[in-house]
Structure 1
Amino acid sequence: MPGPYVVPVQGDAELPKEVDVVVIGGGIIGTSTSLELAERGMRVALCEKGGIGHEQSSRNWGWVRISRRDPREVPLMAEALRIWADLDRRTGRDTGYKRAGIVFTCADDRAYAEHERWNKNLEGYQLESRMLSAKDFREKYPGSDMKLAGALYTAADGRAEPQKAAPAIAEAARDKGAHILTECAVRGLQLSGGRVSGVVTERGEIACKSVVLAGGAWSSLFLGNNGLDLPQLKVMNSVMRTKPLEGGPEEAIWSSGFAIRKRQDGGYTIANGFQNIVDIVPASFRYATKFLPALMHEWRSLSFRFGGRFYDEYRIPRRWELDEPSPFEYHRVLDPIPSKAMAESALVKLKKAFPVFERAEITQRWAGLIDVTPDAVPVIDALDAIPGFHVATGFSGHGFGIGPAAGRLMADIVTGREPVVDRKAFRFGRFSDGSKIELISGF
């Protein structure tokens, strides 16, 4: 896998015959859900078609942020910050988490006012977040040449290592009795009387009463084979990392031209803070109407292209039988080729803003495919159409930081507990029940 090195997780050799819950997908959402359920005494099997954390969960920026979140996600992200603070102790492993703060720069007075208005969403949460004036910013970062109106600085935000987190959580779930099954694609659901009674994997059947689909960018395809429609597309972001570099910012910083995060090894993760690539694929046409408001809102930050990915996805069957190999067995890992031009553009702007990065040595580049919904808010819900079937997907680039809390909410839903936050904003039916689809935040 040309992508980043991920802490390896050895999958179990034996397939359990029966569990209480099967979780599909070994990213940050699936592993967090599995740990929560296992800690509650549930028998859990986590099935991952490839390796734990090998797709977007290891390819993201590593930000753990509540700042600039869609307001509908703020309560869940506040819970996530509490969970992250204790996650190393809880898992008994290193996730690289550190409460180091995140800064969103404001290029002009209009942006400053917008960030200032957004910060009111944190009132009542007792989280340290404040506006920095241009003078404050210069004093905080004397080595920066950025000309700004100011910035939003949230000291309560943090960072973690994407290549460590999902594996650490998966191993902790196994410590609590969960079965961790890698190279084990789930082909589909088994139903009895219209409700979930098990799953069929490429290695055999597992009986269960509940299934959680945390399949990231693959979720829409899986749901479609079960007669359920989820509007979901992919956006590609390219990332690079540097060797250790002294003298750079401790906090993660976002600007329209670049985004950086100090890594645990002293190097930096660097990405374009604004631009992403959208491949035109068959699903682009199926979901064009649903995504039109998002396109109108975000078109400046999206670079559309038509190429080989259209034909790659055209050839993927949308229907298959459970006694034949599924598409997930032929496509173990989404590993797109990064955009060198987009990454280089970010690096040029970063060097201009922080001259210390003139000394930066790039050691690796990769890209990831972000699963997005029309309103850029995830689905975390039980599906009424198939009792016992649940979905947690569509995190739209926000999944890494919010993942541990999303797993807690999903576990609450599966076990019938009082949900940790109001789940209304995350309901599956909002894309088909006539609800107005609102894209509130572009970050």
Structure 2
Amino acid sequence: MKNFDTDVAVVGAGLIGSATALALRQRGVAVVMLERDLGGSRASGVNFGGVRRQGRSPAQLHLAARAHPIWADLKAKIGIDGEYVRSGHIKLARSQADLTALAAYAARVADFDLGLEILEGRAFRERYPCFGPEIIGGSFCPGDGQANPRLVAAAYAQAARQAGCEVIERCPVTGITREGDGFLLRCGDAVAVRARRLVNAAGAWGAGIAAALGDDIPMRFDYPTILVTEPLPPIVSVNIGIEGGGFYGRQVERGNLVMGGGFGVASGDGASRPDSGALARIGGRAAAILPATRHARVIRIWAGIEGYTADKNPFIGESANVPGLFHAFGFSGGGFQIAPAVGEVLCELICEGRSSTPVEAFRPDRFQQQSAEPGRTP
């Protein structure tokens, strides 16, 4: 058995775990990171790849603002640009009610300087002739963009390793216990890690890791499904979404359209597969929203696995019940853009006991707090 003694153990070598490990190593903190598969191979590497601030809750926009300049300088951070393009993001409206909701959101987040522009009528149609007749306008955020999650997630894990983090892959955690003021983690009979502090960045498995240490944190699973078309002539230059959800898409430089908006099904042992009904709905929505895709051939499909919370906000912060345990999971399909900032925030919480970025809204015990309030039923 390999034995390690470290300052911080990180469970999960996806974007959140790797960004945290990298930030800690840059402060000289000893880190061991455990990953059940390969770094960045789960949700972090198979998500849609939207690097957007628009549409986030005001609470998340503090994190998004911190992450925004990191994406612009990604190569200096992890050695590659991850095919990051500041293409802009447009949230589309199918009704006047949608436009009203988009305008209300723009007013609500005006202090975050997103530069949102509400477009409708002739101005919208002239700028974006690619959209079908059911789309009547949208909200454009010029500073948002897109990147290749497969490249970015793996590069973050590699950057953490190069910075001196011990990254142990194909090592599912089979046991976690308190040991004095710290933690003992075991991966079967192969690896034992003693750590003074623990970061739970296990994604869809995060609630299970929390439960092993007595933290009851509610979360459900789902399986976001993505499909990719053959390379097509230029159709749309911006990252797109729909007010109210149900479809998102982006066209990459080589011409392929990456699209999602449905969910797959579990296929055992934490794996998932696309659902034929969801794929048909994504294809149908794509044809209505972007008529030029009507006869495009689909060349690749997949489904990931993600943890979703009741308020669609993640759990970030130290456990209220287990000192030294820091949670960072439950990103509800929206963790890609904010991950670099979350890593820095966790580093600050571990090293300084506080963060310069507000994260109170993401307290891991917030649902227990709500249940305890007068007039609420547990």
- Scaled by the length of structure 1, the TM-score of the pair is 0.79
Q: Which of 97, 100, 106 is the equivalent residue of 1:110? A: 97
CA deviation after TM superposition for structure 1 residue 138, in Å = 0.8
Q: Which of 73, 80, 88 is the equivalent residue of 1:86? A: 73
Alignment partner, residue 147 of structure 1: 134
Query: Do residues 30 (structure 1) and 29 (structure 2) align?
Result: no
Residues 348, 354 of structure 2: 8 Å contact kept: yes
CA deviation after TM superposition for structure 1 residue 257, in Å = 5.2
Alignment partner, residue 299 of structure 1: none
Please tell me the residue identity of whatever aligns with 1:258: F
Task: Give the match's secondary structure for 2:155.
Answer: helix
Percentage identity across aligned positions?
28
CA deviation after TM superposition for structure 1 residue 126, in Å = 3.1
Alignment partner, residue 200 of structure 1: 186
Residues 41, 154 of structure 2: 8 Å contact kept: no
Residues 92, 172 of structure 1: 8 Å contact kept: yes
Q: Which of 258, 277, 282 is the equivalent residue of 1:269? A: 258
CA distance in 1, matches of 2:172, 2:263: 29
Residues 186, 199 of structure 1: 8 Å contact kept: yes
Residues 86, 145 of structure 2: 8 Å contact kept: yes
Task: Give the match's secondary structure for 1:421.
Answer: coil
Please tell me the residue identity of whatever aligns with 1:358: R
Residues 135, 289 of structure 2: 8 Å contact kept: no
Query: Do residues 406 (structure 1) and 342 (structure 2) align?
Result: yes
**Judging changes above 3 Å, is the alpha-carbon distance between structure 1 residues 361 and 38 closer, same or farther for their aligned structure 2 residues?**
same
Please tell me the residue identity of whatever aligns with 1:434: Q
CA distance in 1, matches of 2:3, 2:144: 39
Alignment partner, residue 351 of structure 2: 415
CA distance in 2, matches of 1:431, 1:358: 44
CA distance in 2, matches of 1:204, 1:345: 45
Deviations 1:253-282 (A, max 9, x none): 12355321123533111112xx546x7xxx
CA distance in 2, matches of 1:271, 1:235: 14
Alignment partner, residue 175 of structure 2: 188
Kindly report structure 1 stretches of 4+ aligned residues shifted beyond 4 Å. Answer: none
Q: Which of 41, 50, 58 is the equivalent residue of 1:54? A: 41
CA deviation after TM superposition for structure 1 residue 70, in Å = 1.7
Alignment partner, residue 247 of structure 2: 258
Deviations 1:322-341 (A, max 9, x none): xxxxxxxxx4xx33120122
Q: Larger strand proportion, structure 1 or 2?
A: 2
Residues 196, 386 of structure 1: 8 Å contact kept: no
CA distance in 2, matches of 1:346, 1:49: 31
Please tell me the residue identity of whatever aligns with 1:410: L
Task: Give the match's secondary structure for 2:205.
Answer: helix
Residues 132, 150 of structure 1: 8 Å contact kept: yes
Please tell me the residue identity of whatever aligns with 1:341: G
CA deviation after TM superposition for structure 1 residue 53, in Å = 1.6
Alignment partner, residue 328 of structure 1: none
Task: Give the match's secondary structure for 1:206.
Answer: strand
Alignment partner, residue 232 of structure 2: 245
CA distance in 2, matches of 1:43, 1:424: 27
Residues 13, 33 of structure 2: 8 Å contact kept: yes
Alignment partner, residue 340 of structure 1: 276
Residues 161, 264 of structure 1: 8 Å contact kept: no
CA distance in 1, matches of 2:139, 2:18: 32
Residues 217, 365 of structure 2: 8 Å contact kept: no
CA distance in 1, matches of 2:86, 2:97: 29
Alignment partner, residue 365 of structure 2: 429
CA distance in 1, matches of 2:253, 2:82: 10
Alignment partner, residue 306 of structure 2: 370
Task: Give the match's secondary structure for 2:369.
Answer: coil
CA deviation after TM superposition for structure 1 residue 417, in Å = 5.5
**Judging changes above 3 Å, is the alpha-carbon distance between structure 1 residues 383 and 54 closer, same or farther for their aligned structure 2 residues?**
same
Structure 2 stretches of 5 or more lacking a match? 374-378
Deviations 1:164-219 (A, max 9, x none): 111111111112111111011222334233x3243222322122211100011111
Residues 247, 356 of structure 1: 8 Å contact kept: no
Q: Which of 54, 57, 65 is the equivalent residue of 1:67? A: 54
Please tell me the residue identity of whatever aligns with 1:394: G
CA deviation after TM superposition for structure 1 residue 344, in Å = 2.0
Correspondence list, 1:167-186, <5 A = 167-186=154-173
**Judging changes above 3 Å, is the alpha-carbon distance between structure 1 residues 88 and 147 closer, same or farther for their aligned structure 2 residues?**
same
Residues 44, 336 of structure 2: 8 Å contact kept: yes
- Scaled by the length of structure 2, the TM-score of the pair is 0.91
Task: Give the match's secondary structure for 1:132.
Answer: strand
Alignment partner, residue 376 of structure 2: none
Alignment partner, residue 230 of structure 1: 217
Structure 1 stretches of 5 or more lacking a match? 1-13, 280-307, 313-330, 438-443
CA deviation after TM superposition for structure 1 residue 64, in Å = 0.9
CA distance in 1, matches of 2:45, 2:253: 14
**Judging changes above 3 Å, is the alpha-carbon distance between structure 1 residues 182 and 241 closer, same or farther for their aligned structure 2 residues?**
same
CA RMSD of aligned residues (A): 2.1
Deviations 1:89-147 (A, max 9, x none): 22112412111111111111111111111112432333332111132221112233233
Task: Give the match's secondary structure for 2:272.
Answer: coil
CA distance in 2, matches of 1:196, 1:424: 24
Please tell me the residue identity of whatever aligns with 2:134: K
**Judging changes above 3 Å, is the alpha-carbon distance between structure 1 residues 417 and 156 closer, same or farther for their aligned structure 2 residues?**
farther
CA deviation after TM superposition for structure 1 residue 74, in Å = 1.0
